[in-house]
Amino acid sequence: MMFFSRFQAATGGLLFLICGQAMSATSHFQVTTVSMPAWNIITDTLIKMTPLVNGQRDDGVMSLVCDLARGDKTQQDIDEALLKKNVNLQALAKDNGTLGLLVNSDLTAQQTACSTYLISVLFTPVDNSAYMQDVPPAEKADTKNTDAAGKDDKKTKSAADATGKSAVEKVFNQPRFEQDVRTHIAIAQATAQLYALMAGNLERMKGESWGTYQMRIEQMVREYSPNFLKTVKVFYQAESTKPIVTRSLTQYGYDISDGSYHQLIRDQHAFLFRSRSVDWLGNGVIMGKRYFVDLNILDTSAKKDTVVRGGKKGH
């Protein structure tokens, strides 16, 4: 027991000595910053800003928030929709989180939340099983199994009745999938512009801390959100008539292209948006370019304080 106490004291003193040496060693570094991709700090900040409900994404709530943010619906429209669902508006008004955005009339907060939520869609794991829907074989027979006289082919239905199996089949909803993909392409285009704008401004900031960079990113997102939402809408309108070509499709990913030389690749872990065979957003690339920021990783405040105090003593 005595040995253990002495060992604790010895190791504690050793750790203190090491920490003291490490802290004092910062004054000997001529360079106190490291260069890191702007992609990482921008992405981490945006994910941190993403609005959640009870710790999870809520498409239903954010759909209403985005309606307000874009001006597609008025506050009265939203109030009436919530009342029909027996939602207590007074309780929502006391909520300082995402739910409060439904009734607080804070347009800036609504636009910021909507923008970050749309961007975060690109970073969300893909699960294409959501596009599988139940379709009775009779409906398929009406559209595919008709003879020249227009009469239904009853063989499929008879076989199903004979086996006693369910008359419902799973069918992939291709139109809905393509509609969502067009939306994601529009979001990727607008996000690339926002990333480039922020990365260019961050590069001008020299040797700031992680927290300072994050605060600047949050500020830029709030300021740019109205323009971002308009840009997404413009890109989507241009994309809405373009044909979608599915290059590959699995339950947990896809690789698609459109008629404007855009390609979007997504899976459970990452995404890549390409424009005319150039990486446009993803893999650390922003509109075909890699941006870097100088991140201060050493606390130089003590050194600066010593210099200032030393200067005062010299006068």
80-114, pLDDT tens digit by residue?
A: 999 999 999 999 999 999 999 999 999 999 999 99
Domain co-membership, 150 together with 207: no
What domain range includes position 268? 37-128+172-296
Query: How high is the pLDDT of residue 135?
Result: 85
Do 208 and 232 belong to one domain? yes
pLDDT of residue 134 exceeding 50:
yes
Summarize the confidence of residues 68-73 as an average pLDDT.
97
Report the SS3 class of residue 150.
coil
User: Above pLDDT 70, what percent of the chain?
Assistant: 77
User: To the nearest whole percent, how much of the chain has pLDDT over 90?
Assistant: 69
pLDDT at residue 72 tops 50: yes
Say what the pLDDT of residue 299 is. Answer: 65
Counting every residue, how long is the chain? Answer: 315
Question: Does residue 247 sit in the same domain as residue 214?
Answer: yes
Q: State the burial class of residue 190 (Cβ atoms within 10 Å of its Cβ: 0-12, 13-18, 19+).
A: buried
Longest dimension (CA), the chain: 106
Same-domain pairing of 236 and 143: no
**Distance from first CA to last CA of the chain, Å, rounded?**
57
Contact present, 294 and 279 (Cβ < 8 Å)? no
Residue 67 domain-assigned (yes or no): yes
Q: Are residues 70 and 42 in the same domain?
A: yes
pLDDT at 314 exceeding the cut of 50 = no
Would you list the DSSP string of 172-241? Answer: E-HHHHHHHHHHHHHHHHHHHHHHHHHHHHHHTS-SB-HHHHHHHHHHHHHHHHHHHHHHHHHHHHHHTT
Residue of 67 and 20 predicted with greater confidence = 67
How many domains does the structure of the chain reveal? 2
**203 belongs to a structural domain:** yes
* 76 shares a domain with 179: yes
- pTM of the predicted protein model: 0.79
